[in-house]
């Protein structure tokens, strides 16, 4: 009898904390916003910037996106996602602080999946404010065309118009050589927000958040000369979702509601600039985050 009581006492001591913890586990709150940090991503990019005689430019860029874990499948060329982008931007003659342009990008996700086509029109304003600091604003509208479920991490699904607003601040620090062609550091901080544009919500449209995507990015560009510059950067990209509720066998909520998916991202931009004969290297050069 004494032996049985001893075994029972030990069982209570061992199982008691676990049982108490199970009883105190809070229920899933559907009204709360849940934040989940995803696997870190790596986004290397190569750019070619062709400057025209009037100072406008044409842009061609190739970018790969790779998740830094072993869970992703269907990679092509070593990347989970691949993007090719072309763009053109025109600077105002009367007021060079303003510019406008357009871009078009092809985004391929996985291997053998449909490719998304995303055209965009944009307007930009950049001007010095104080202490050599330059403040920029970029406003754009884009639309995604995709024959399948392909959706860029930083873009919308097929058929949606998205509006984007980006604000950034940067400053050039000249390290060596002349101001126009010498080595310079370019620290910069930017914040971008994107939202789905629609005039009126249809009855069968799913619920969604006011803002669908944001990106907070910090970088330190290194200008090696008028032709080559390198920009390592880090960003927190966040997708804001409204997900369908899920329940267990007892009818208790287990998932659903407002969900913030955070993607820590390391990037490296390598840019080559082709200047026409006679055009000064002191032109207004945009950051690699066009």
Banded pLDDT at 92 (limits 50, 70, 90): confident
The helix (H) or strand (E) run that includes residue 33 is strand 33-37
The helix (H) or strand (E) run that includes residue 140 is strand 133-143
Q: Contact 47/59 with Cβ under 8 angstroms?
A: yes
Using alpha carbons, list the distances in angstroms from residue 278 to 55, 66, 181, 234, 275: 11, 40, 14, 36, 8
Q: Tokens 């066009």 correspond to what residue?
A: 290
Q: Which of 165-174, 203-212, 225-234, 264-273 has the lowest mean pLDDT?
A: 203-212
Q: Is the pLDDT of residue 238 over 90?
A: yes
* Number of other residues whose CB lies within 10 A of the CB of residue 208: 15
Banded pLDDT at 119 (limits 50, 70, 90): very high
Share of the chain above pLDDT 70, in %: 85
Coil, strand or helix: which one is 290? coil
Please give the DSSP secondary-structure letter assigned to residue 285: P
The token duo for 13 is: 């001591």
Residue 8 vs residue 29, higher pLDDT: 29
pTM of the model: 0.85
Q: Contact 114/147 with Cβ under 8 angstroms?
A: yes
Residue 195 vs residue 177, higher pLDDT: 195
Question: 33-274 belongs to which CATH class?
Answer: mainly beta
**Residue 270, burial from CB neighbour count under 10 angstroms (0-12, 13-18, 19+):** middle
* Number of other residues whose CB lies within 10 A of the CB of residue 111: 11
Q: Contact 155/162 with Cβ under 8 angstroms?
A: yes
Q: What is the pLDDT of residue 281?
A: 53
Question: Any idea where the domains of the chain sit in the sequence?
Answer: 33-274
Using alpha carbons, list the distances in angstroms from residue 273 to 56, 188, 228: 12, 20, 6
């Amino acid at each position: 009898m004494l032996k049985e009581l001893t075994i029972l006492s030990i069982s209570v001591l061992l199982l008691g904390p676990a049982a108490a913890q199970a009883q105190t586990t809070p229920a899933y709150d559907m009204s709360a916003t849940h934040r989940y940090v995803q696997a870190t991503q790596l986004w290397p990019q190569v750019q070619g910037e062709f400057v025209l005689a009037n100072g406008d430019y044409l842009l061609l860029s190739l970018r790969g996106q790779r998740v830094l874990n072993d869970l992703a499948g269907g990679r092509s060329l070593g990347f989970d996602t691949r993007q090719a982008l072309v763009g053109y931007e025109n600077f105002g003659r009367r007021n060079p602080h303003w510019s406008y342009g357009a871009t078009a990008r092809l985004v391929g996700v996985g291997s053998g999946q449909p490719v998304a086509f995303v055209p965009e029109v944009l307007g930009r304003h950049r001007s010095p404010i104080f202490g050599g600091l330059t403040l920029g604003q970029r406003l754009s509208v884009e639309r995604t065309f995709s024959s399948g479920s392909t959706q860029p991490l930083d873009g919308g699904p097929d058929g949606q118009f998205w509006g984007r607003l980006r604000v950034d601040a940067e400053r050039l620090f000249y390290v060596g050589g002349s101001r126009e062609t010498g080595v310079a550091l370019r620290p910069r901080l930017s914040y971008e927000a994107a939202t789905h544009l629609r005039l009126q919500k249809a009855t069968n449209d799913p619920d969604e958040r006011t803002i669908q995507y944001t990106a907070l990015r910090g970088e330190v560009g290194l200008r090696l000369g008028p032709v080559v510059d390198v920009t390592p950067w880090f960003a927190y990209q966040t997708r804001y979702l409204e997900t369908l509720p899920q329940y267990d066998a007892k009818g208790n909520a287990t998932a659903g509601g407002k969900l913030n998916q955070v993607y820590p991202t390391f990037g490296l931009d390598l840019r080559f600039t082709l200047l026409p004969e006679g055009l000064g290297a002191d032109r207004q050069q945009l950051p690699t985050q066009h």
